[in-house]
Amino acid sequence: MALQPGQMFRQYRVEAKIGQGGMGVVYKGLDLNLQRTAALKILPPAFAEQNAEARERFIREARSAAQLIHQNIVTVFEAGDEAGQFYIAMEFISGPSVSSLMKKKGRLDTKVALKIIRDATSGIDFAHRMNLVHRDIKPDNILLHPNGMAKVADFGLAKSTNQDNTNLTGTGLIVGTPHYMAPEQCEGEETDRRADIYSLGATLYAMILGVPPYQAKSTMAILHKHVYDPVPDPRDMDPDIPEDVAKVMMKAMAKNKEDRYQTAQKFLEAMDKINLGEQTLADEDQHRDPFQDIGSSTLALQQAALEMGVQEFTENTAAIKYSKPGEEQAEVEDEGDTATLLLMALVVAAAAVMLICAFVFRDNFQRIFNGETKPTTTIQQAQAPATTVKVSNTVLPELPDPESQQAYTKELSKPVTNIRHLPGTSVVIITDGEGGLHIWDFQGNDLDVPDTGGKVSASTCSPKGDRIAVAVGKEVILYEGAGQRLLKTLADHTLPVTDMAFNPTGGLLLTGSADGMVHLYRSIISGRYQSLLPEELSKASHPARIVNVQFTNNQRSIFSASADGTLCFWQPHTRSLEKTILFPVGKVSQAIVGSNFDHSTLLILSEGKAFFYDLNADKPEMEEMELDGTTATTAAFSWKNQYLAIGTEEGKIHLFGGPKKKLALQQKHGGPILSIGCTGGGVTESEYIISGGANGKVLVEPISGWTGEGK
């Protein structure tokens, strides 16, 4: 029977249900005796009666975790059987799991990921010293406390290294979560603490790269990759990952457990030698609404079942018979009262500093959070921003703060056909109607333009602002900064390149060409590439000219569109086609995805009309957007996908806050708008609309002025 808010369960007053799955229900409750918040995991009586194995594992989780009192392990308060309902009361963590943080942000900063995995390894090291192997380490089971500390949860699959567990398990069967399991675990062999080290390495890989080290369509295929595929070098996916970080990660994931770090302590020592500086999570990433994320109240078995599929999990998951390991266990260190008091003092001091900073800078914080801006409606000639930013050893003007409500203009003698913004700076890369390249900053200065040797057909900028790519015919030329130094020329297409895009870290480059081919450069400096489909399956990814290529959903998939209306979503790591949408209305001139704009909105421009398609809908259908009788020519989502700007043949710009939420319509050009874009990056995270017209005019305006936030 489900518990209701306000109902008592033992000494706990239930406040809310915060999670539910096939094997249990999780509640947030208040311990009235000790006046502390707890997470209550409750196994329903009916399920406990029908599934003896789940009941035994539920009890084992409580017994295992109860032995572990450590700052990086979720604390169990008590466990028992209340009128046939098995329950565990444990520490309530109001912060998110690493998994939910990855869903929100995609890839995590390398320094943040190392901090998280170091905390988790510290907790696992303590568990190993207490003769427990976790066996299910993954992003779901690492929780982030609001104080920034990571904690390991869910010891439901843990096994003791000095006890025989054969009464609960069968021999040679698989236990764990496929994406993070050690090779010996995948094969149902004996596991020891080195299996946890492999899982920690795989989790670190997933945090830094945004995806697990091995992916495939079936569970068995994933297990096969763990056992037989080479350990992936993360630098193949992002060459900017520091070499020492990559080496530590790959050693932790060595196929042969003898080649891994033999203890968690050795893994910690290796990470301590990496000097990338301190990094903490942003405040908004350390907190969550507990009703949106189960967090520490997630059953390990429930999480694994969700990932593998309940039926497949039921058939394949059981622990195995283990022999006692021959290696000696390290003694448990005494964490005396002195260390505890010191930790408490540090926490109090840190809290005091945060309060002081919040008070001193409260006005600035309030202005930033509220988006307040200084009112002005005057369009002025460009003036020099107050500060500069260093990009690739070159000092470039920083993106100005939109509080000034100032607009910037540039006049060219030829039509503006393509606009790209160099993130974090006030630099714009412009292509004109004759293939000429122009590099301009908001000050009105024309910067030096590299000699491309031909007409430019497409261009793009890396999200870090450290490089640009331009297409000249069939070649793609990579430059450092805003064209200050030639890095590499890529020449793998057979027809001219029509569109390009970097991934969120700039380590991958996606290109599309006039013959329908889409290439993914996995290491753009070395020039290593692959077509998205093997040659034996397809000579072209699309049947017509590519009009758009894009990384979507925090780079977990790739989107490509061709002029005939073939829209494809790809899984880059498996080189497989995930989904194809055929657009039946007419020829497509542009198709883009806004992954955070009204969930996942696919915008399609065709024959002067704009259509949107909700990718998350149960039965998605194309819907036409209202453009007030104007003819759409170009469109772009804002940097954070909060807004959509559509340029028109009539020189007007529509600004939307959702597919059906028109915010503004303004006349900006005297003729057709041929290109539109939005700025992003920088200290202030400013967002401007940049539009270019057939008359050669480039206009840059802060979005806050359009939405009313600057008035």
Interatomic CA distance for residues 303 and 173, integer angstroms: 18
Confidence of residue 303 (pLDDT cuts 50, 70, 90): very low
High-pLDDT (> 90) share of the chain, %: 32
- Give the model's pLDDT for residue 576: 72
- With beta carbons less than 8 A apart as the criterion, state whether 178 and 185 touch: no
| Dihedral over Cα of 143, 147, 149, 155: its sign | negative
> Of 53-67, 446-460, 505-519, which has the strongest mean pLDDT?
446-460
Domains parsed from the chain with CATH numbers = 19-326+333-350 (1.10.510.10), 377-453+479-485+587-711 (no CATH)
Tell me the mean pLDDT in the region 8-19: 87
Name the amino acid, one letter, at 334.
Answer: D
Tell me the mean pLDDT in the region 473-490: 88
Q: Is the pLDDT of residue 328 over 50?
A: no
Contacts of residue 338, defined as CB under 8 A and 6 or more positions apart, other chains included, come to none
HEC per residue, 583-625: CCCCCEEEEEEECCCCCCEEEEEECCEEEEEECCCCCCCCEEC
- Give the model's pLDDT for residue 606: 93
- Give the model's pLDDT for residue 84: 72
Residue 448: count other Cβ atoms within 10 Å of its Cβ. 8
Interatomic CA distance for residues 298 and 90, integer angstroms: 11
Confidence of residue 61 (pLDDT cuts 50, 70, 90): low
Minimum mean pLDDT range among 36-40, 148-152, 415-419, 706-710: 706-710
Interatomic CA distance for residues 703 and 710, integer angstroms: 9
- Give the model's pLDDT for residue 196: 95
Question: pTM of this prediction?
Answer: 0.51
High-pLDDT (> 70) share of the chain, %: 71
Burial code (b: 16+ CB inside 10 Å, e: under 16) for 463-494 equals: bbbbbbbbbbbbbbbbbbbbbbeeebebebbe
For 239, the 3-state DSSP assignment is coil
- Give the model's pLDDT for residue 683: 44
In tens, the pLDDT along 219-263 reads 888 998 999 888 999 988 888 899 999 999 999 999 999 999 999
- Give the model's pLDDT for residue 375: 30
- Give the model's pLDDT for residue 556: 64
Name the amino acid, one letter, at 408.
Answer: Y
Q: Between these two residues, 570 and 116, which has the higher pLDDT value?
A: 116
- Give the model's pLDDT for residue 627: 94
Structure-token match 């040797």, residue found: 453
The DSSP-derived string for 394-412 is EEEEBPPPGGG---EEEE-
HSE-CB for 207 with a 13 A CA cutoff:
29
Q: Is the pLDDT of residue 291 over 80?
A: no
Supply the mean pLDDT for the chain.
76
- Give the model's pLDDT for residue 306: 28
Structure-token match 């003729």, residue found: 671
Contacts of residue 421, defined as CB under 8 A and 6 or more positions apart, other chains included, come to 427, 428, 429, 461, 677, 678, 679, 680, 690
Confidence of residue 604 (pLDDT cuts 50, 70, 90): very high
- Give the model's pLDDT for residue 651: 95
